[in-house]
Amino acid sequence: MLAKETDKPFDDKDWLFEIKWDGYRAIAEKNKNKILLYSRNGLSFLSTYPIVADQLLKINEDVVVDGEIVVINDKGKPDFQLLQHYAENQDRPIQYYIFDLLKLKGHDTTGLSLIERKELLQKIIPENEVIRYSDHILEKGKSFFKVSEEKDLEGIMAKKMDSKYYPGKRTSDWLKIKHHKTQEAIIAGYTQPLGARKYLGALILAIKDGKRFKYIGHTGGGFNQNSLKEMFEKLQPLVQEKSPFDEKIKTNSPVTWVKPQLICEVKFAEITADGKLRQPVFLHLRNDKDINEVNMANTTAISTVKTKPSTTEEKTGKDDKVFTFGKSKVKATHLSKIYFPEDGITKGDVINYYISMADYILPYLKGRPESLLRNPNGIHGQGFFQKDAAGNVPSYVNSKKLFSESTNKDIDYIICDNEATLTYMNNLGCIEINPWHSTIKSLDNPDYLIIDIDPSEKNSFEQVIEAANVVKQVLDKAGASSFCKTSGASGLHVYVPTGRKYSYEQVKDFAYIICIMASEELKDFTTLERNLQKRGNDKIYMDYLQNRRGQTIASVYSLRPKVGATVSAPLFWKEVKAGLSPQQFTIHNMLEVVKKRGDIFTGILEKGIDLNSCLKKLGA
């Protein structure tokens, strides 16, 4: 029996609610000393999860039951990735949550009501660490859904208490309510990678539409180097010359077609009017699914990223929209223009991201001159810097005339003080946001020091992590507080609050001392040599020269114009260790991450260090 999907939780006295487990659906048959354990499409799990089969023998009665196999991670939560790699992680706790009873002592129970089946089921399930009864609550779906969200679970199941069990049938008597919209998709091919990306660019996604395959989008997000390699290797035996689609599929790079046999699960923002997924992100493969079940018949569309109540949208042309922030109106154009081809991310998605993140990013932009890095043709188009905002800028955009050393004249810098200005900048093609390190109130005195740990071609990210931690050790010795963020590309940025108490020259000199001391400990793979030719392709550049008036770097929470739509994300220092990847933080999950743990970067704007005290502690 299969569930349909609905958008919102509800309360109803005729329904019960269960946890939606993030695992493999499995039917188990116990007949005397014989056990069968298999997926809905008949794939046997006996050799894959033998401990579950062994524990099923402890059920005293002969039964056929329905449930979900899950593997538990270090946080005590189901982890689908660990389940898929259980053969290499058999020390992890595995559990089979049973939620329905189909046969008892040879008698068919599918004609009984669900609540009757569960009452019988609860009486026969043994108490052990592997075989578990999947409990439920009655009526209160809304509060149960909220609790499941707080516990970081996948969602809940809503089931009519009087529902009978219909094997293989999808019915509205059972409903799944998820915290994130997901879709199963058939992998029909993959595009060639661009730039530094390896193995593949994006997966071509399809569903079954009768006897034909229907294209629903493509995704390059959700991968790291290991999972890209693993996916590439799984696809090689399936390569074929012919496209499985009747129509021609538009892509930004050549496609390798594969036999449509592998099924994956993706999360997405919405389903467009023509049935395409917006912002699909790869989650994992689904080996337990049948391609004939992969369709959108049971999937409901969701809205795009919701803006805050203070923001309203007014549609204009077919591809334009007017955003209203209080009394300010910002017209955004060409919203469906693709900015990130591998990920299917549009200009409109970028604007929506910054609107949703405005409360978090604006404190790091307010009062600061902006150097606009514009990518109006997306991440593979020619980008350019624009500093001078002179001309016809809207009244809600504040600006400041300042002398620019690079142009040797006074120019008007935009000051991003509000959401309207941020959206205006995004509409100009600003995927990345680059503020000064000082504000217009104290232009010559930066709020913070920055050390940019910038790897060369042959450096590993593990070396970047090691360099960042050595920098922290030197700063700890100096008694200086420090904060770390990903660059959103291949490096890490270390910040030290200076509280507008020192000149750029003083801050730069201190950064130089820190870099010298850190580099002394890491002579094999770090350098302070700025010239690319002189430093070679195997040295990390410890960049202290970021600390100059007018210099900019991607802001915390800024998107980067890179494949994967990565974000420059703040980190706890305990996270700066092996296993960290810049690809962990993207347009798709940054809001969720910051809502969960708060803004952990605010310390860079607080009281600064005592520079003299720090220098004394270092003996400098």
The predicted structure's pLDDT at residue 303: 30
Is residue 165 located within the same domain as residue 198?
no
Local confidence band at 279 (pLDDT 50, 70, 90 cut-offs)? confident
Cβ proximity of 54 and 94 under 8 Å: no
Strands 255-258 and 239-240, bridge-based pairing: antiparallel
Cβ proximity of 80 and 23 under 8 Å: yes
DSSP state of 276: P
**Calpha distance 615→588 (Å, rounded):** 42
- Among residues 143, 177, 211, which one ends one of the domains? 177
Lowest pLDDT segment from 36-40, 59-63, 312-316, 497-501 = 312-316
Could you report how far apart the first and last alpha carbons of the chain are, in Å? 72
The total domain count for the chain is 4
**Residue 440 belongs to some domain of the structure:** no
Q: Which two tokens stand for residue 551?
A: 């210099």
Structural domain for 115, as ranges: 2-177
By the 10 Å C-beta count (0-12 exposed, 13-18 middle, 19+ buried), 467 is classed as buried
Phi-psi domain of 422 (left: phi exceeds 0; alpha: psi -120 through 50; beta: other): alpha
pLDDT at 304 over 70: no
**Calpha distance 172→191 (Å, rounded):** 38
**Residue 434 belongs to some domain of the structure:** no
Is residue 247 located within the same domain as residue 124?
no
Lowest pLDDT segment from 40-44, 47-51, 491-495, 518-522 = 40-44
> H or E stretch including 26?
strand 24-31
- Collapsing DSSP to helix, strand or coil, 278 comes out as strand
The predicted structure's pLDDT at residue 306: 33
The predicted structure's pLDDT at residue 316: 55
pLDDT at 413 over 60: yes
Cβ proximity of 1 and 166 under 8 Å: yes
**Residue 439 belongs to some domain of the structure:** no
Task: Give the number of other Cβ atoms within 10 Å of residue 394's Cβ.
Answer: 12
- Among residues 177, 197, 216, which one ends one of the domains? 177
Per-residue pLDDT tens over the stretch 463-487? 999 999 999 999 999 999 999 999 9
Q: Which two tokens stand for residue 461?
A: 């990210």
**Calpha distance 386→319 (Å, rounded):** 25
CATH number of the domain residue 495 falls in: 3.90.920.10
Is residue 475 located within the same domain as residue 503?
yes
Beta-ladder partners of 278: 270
**Residue 69 belongs to some domain of the structure:** yes
Give the mean pLDDT of 275-282.
85
Task: Give the number of other Cβ atoms within 10 Å of residue 98's Cβ.
Answer: 24
**Residue 432 belongs to some domain of the structure:** no
Local confidence band at 315 (pLDDT 50, 70, 90 cut-offs)? low
The whole-chain average pLDDT of the chain stands at 90
CATH number of the domain residue 281 falls in: 2.40.50.140
The predicted structure's pLDDT at residue 297: 44
Give the mean pLDDT of 545-572.
96
Enter the pTM of the model. 0.59
Per-residue pLDDT tens over the stretch 105-129? 999 999 999 999 999 999 999 878 9
Is residue 286 located within the same domain as residue 358?
no
